[in-house]
Amino acid sequence: MSAPTPLLSIRDLAIEFATPAGPVTAVRGVDLDLAPGRTVAVVGESGSGKSTMAAAINGLLAANGRIARGSILFEGRDLAQATPAELRAVRGRGIGLVPQDPMSNLNPIQRVGRQIAEALSVHGLMRGAAAWSRAVELLDMVGIPDPGRRAKQYPHELSGGMRQRVLIAMGLACRPRLLIADEPTSALDVTVQKVILDEMAALTAEMGTAVILITHDLALAAERADEALVMFRGDMVERGRAAEVMRSPRAEYTRRLIAAAPTLASRRLVGDAVPAAAADPRPRRDRVLAELVGVRKEYPGRRSLFGREPAFAAVEDMTLEIPRGETVAVVGESGSGKSTTAKLLLRIEDATAGDIVFDGRAVTRLKGRALFDFRRRVQPVFQNPYGSLDARWTVGASIEEPLRIHGLGDAVSRRTKVLDALDAVALPREMLKRLPAELSGGQRQRVAIARALVLEPELVVLDEAVSALDVIVQAQVLELLADLQARLGLSYLFISHDLAVVRQIAHHVHVMRRGRVVESGAPEKIFTSPETDYARELIAAIPGAAPRAAPPAPEQPALRRA
């Protein structure tokens, strides 16, 4: 290793969780050396044990977890043997933490400045006014404009990016020698992600803080870390210089991870779009399945002390068409109106103005029976694999639900259809009787897709449908979607913030910003020669967007099962 005396040295670490079914080993055989001021990335999918390892370093394992073997030497002291009191002293002071979710890791009823000041005062570094002014200083350091005013605000008054900055400020408040950043930017838009990671890197470099960056994103790790450690199901499968690991991965798993990660060089999963309207001899009604024509969606302003605030237009003058059998992607950051567009097309929200046309008929104001019939032809798949299934329903019941709602067939024929749907999404038939809690994220998302398909819809609205999945699983689900489209002639409206994914799957792309489409076109065109600054910015912010050698991956391995 580069430095003679590592700040943190982990040897042969194994972590176990006691479960009713007996002990489960979550992490085994991890070795790690981290010199002061360096950054190591721990890369892996969910369930790989990367967060568990971070929790162990910090002494924050869940109650049923314990370090079964190995040592964690931090500045010469073994944290694996430390008492709770010793760990408390190290936590925050010696080791800072930036947690994953900016929404749930701040106290909603406390001013953010106070929360940072608290981090200082619990370690007796500063109190009262001094702690407060240091908190303001820290907010300034992490790039929050007008920090004096922001410090007095509550978390809900800050955007997601700003909240994450507050968490970074808290993690760095006591000038720790080591900062553990657990997926610090996964919940943020790409452009915000880049700015925040830049700032975090600058700050830790300035303070000489070593960083453990926990991420599922290998490209991000290669860009931000000196060293990378790849974990797979609790095992450390590869360790080396980050760039090296990326360029010439040794472990089979790392190769798969690199191959699956969508980049701007990834293979496209669909053919190019059918030639433009002029060249297509079919009548318009046969060519276009759905379209939005000048659609506007307004939300009434909040009522305040002085009457109503002005109405807010989430979507403005939206026009797009979805050709039959093709995929239309809408990309943009959170708040750009892309999810509202999905809801309008699904008729969950009603358009304020404009028309939604489906199969040649306006469906904007459909009600009752007509709306019910329309619903059968358009089905959604949502983002969150944990919220998309009722925890009390078996997989079979969930997939069957739309059929029962529509009163289609009898129990026997419905069961056949459910089994067909399971086959279509490549899930084993034994899944039928399982409950969602027994399924992985990728399996749940497959079930959600099966539920959407069981009514044999013509249009599937995919609202960030693969965003919450690990890269390998994401690649599998994307392939599944492309395959289903080819076989069943489905049309997709694909809502995403991930341009690399969009490039793989879409025939047409619309870039949205603040409720408006700012750029449209074929994916290749937008990605190779974006016209607007905004599109350029989005593309530049993708980790690994900078030209680099394509990984010498073997042939795409056959990835069928989640």
Partner 1 sequence: MTALADAPRPRRLRLRPTFTVAVAAIMLAAVFALAILGPLWPGFDPDTQNLFGAKIPPIQDWAHPFGTDPLGRDLFSRLAWASGVSILIALAAVAISACLGLALGLVAGWRGGWLDGLLMGVGNTQLAIPVVLLLIVLVAALGASTVLLVVLLGLTNWVAYGRLTRSLVLTLREQEFIVAAKTAGASDAWIILRHLLPNAVPKVLILAAFDTGVIVTIESSLSFLGLGVQPPVPSLGLMIAEGQRYLQTDPFLTVFPALAIFCLIGGIQFAGQGLAARPPSRGGR
Nearest CB to partner 1, comparing residues 389 and 535? 389
- Alpha helix (H) ranges present in 336-454? 338-345, 368-377, 395-405, 411-424, 441-453
Q: Is 448 in the site for partner 1 (CB under 8 A)?
A: yes
Query: Is 62 one of the binding residues for partner 1 (CB under 8 A)?
Result: yes
Residue ranges of the alpha helices (H) in 16-146?
50-57, 84-90, 112-122, 128-141
* Site membership for partner 1, residue 311 (CB under 8 A): no
What is the token pair recorded at 55?
């929790």
Asked whether position 347 contacts partner 1 by CB under 8 A, the answer is yes
Does 364 interact with partner 1 (rule: CB under 8 A)? no
Does 17 interact with partner 1 (rule: CB under 8 A)?
A: yes
Question: What type of residue sits at position 541?
Answer: A
462 part of the interface to partner 1, by CB under 8 A: no
Does 387 contact partner 1 by CB under 8 A? yes
Q: Is 390 in the site for partner 1 (CB under 8 A)?
A: yes
Q: Which stretch binds partner 1 (CB under 8 A): 162-170, 248-256, 369-377, 494-502?
A: 369-377
User: Is residue 493 near partner 1 by the rule CB under 8 A?
Assistant: no
Q: Is 380 in the site for partner 1 (CB under 8 A)?
A: yes
Cα dist. 57→215, 222, 269, 501 in Å?
A: 16, 23, 41, 34
Contact 389, 383 (CB under 8 A): no
Alpha carbon distance 117, 173 (integer Å): 8
Nearer to partner 1, 11 or 377 (CB): 377
Cβ-proximal residues to 382 (8 Å cutoff; 6+ apart), any chain? 388, 448, 463, 464, 465
Residue 191 has φ and ψ, to the nearest 5°, of: -65, -40
Piece of the chain touching partner 1 by CB under 8 A; list 46-54, 248-256, 287-295, 318-326: 46-54
Our finding on whether 344 is near partner 1 (CB under 8 A) is no
* 521/493 Cα distance (integer angstroms): 15
The reply on whether position 414 binds partner 1 by CB under 8 A is no
- Alpha-carbon distance of 497 to 467, in angstroms, equals 8
Q: Which stretch, 114-122, 388-396, 422-430, 542-550, contacts partner 1 (CB under 8 A)?
A: 388-396
Please name which of 413, 486, 187 lies closest in space to residue 478, comparing C-alpha atoms: 486
In the list 20, 76, 281, 283, the residue contacting partner 1 (rule: CB under 8 A) is 20
Query: Cβ of residue 265: shortest distance to partner 1, in angstroms?
Result: 28
Binding residues for partner 1 restricted to 194-253, rule: CB under 8 A: 233
| Close Cβ partners of 298 (under 8 Å, ≥ 6 residues apart) | 311, 312, 313, 314, 352
Instruction: Examine residue 58 and tell whether it contacts partner 1 (CB under 8 A).
Output: no
Which of 207, 244, 206, 208 is closest to 225 using CA atoms? 244
Q: Does 396 bind partner 1 (CB under 8 A)?
A: no
Strands in 361-362's sheet, in edge-to-edge order, are 312-323, 288-299, 353-358, 361-362
Rank residues 37 and 47 by Cβ distance to partner 1 and give the closer one: 47
Please, which residue, 102 or 147, has the CB nearer to partner 1? 102
Residue 402 CA to residue 393 CA, distance in Å, equals: 13
Exactly one of 99, 176, 262, 441 binds partner 1 (CB under 8 A); that residue is: 441
CA distance 462 to 501: 13
Residues contacting partner 1: total by CB under 8 A: 52
CB of 216 to partner 1, least distance (A): 9
Which of 1, 24, 370, 550 binds partner 1 (CB under 8 A)? It is 24
The kind and range of the H/E element at 218 are helix 218-224
Which CB atom, from 173 or from 314, has the smaller least distance to partner 1? 314
Distance CA 538, CA 498 (A): 9
Q: Which of 114-122, 149-157, 437-445, 549-557 is the region at the interface with partner 1 (rule: CB under 8 A)?
A: 437-445
Q: Which two tokens stand for residue 501?
A: 């994914």
Contact between 417 and partner 1 per CB under 8 A: no
Instruction: State the minimum distance, in angstroms, from the CB of residue 388 to partner 1.
Output: 4
46 in contact with partner 1 (CB under 8 A): yes
**Residue in 133, 440, 467, 520 binding partner 1, rule: CB under 8 A:** 440
Of 299, 372, 529, 554, the residue at the interface with partner 1 (CB under 8 A) is 372
Chain residues 116-145 in contact with partner 1, contact rule CB under 8 A: none
Q: How far apart are CA 199 and CA 143, in angstroms?
A: 8
SS3 398: helix
The residue assigned the tokens 């200083």 is 137
Of the candidate residues 9, 39, 51, 364, the single one contacting partner 1 (CB under 8 A): 51
Among residues 241, 268, 376, 414, the one that binds partner 1 under rule CB under 8 A: 376
Q: CA-to-CA distance for 46 and 424, rounded, in angstroms?
A: 25
Binding site for partner 1 (CB under 8 A): 17, 19-21, 24, 26-27, 46-52, 55, 62, 233, 346-348, 371-372, 375-376, 378-380, 382-384, 386-392, 398, 401-402, 405-406, 435-438, 440-441, 448, 451-452, 455
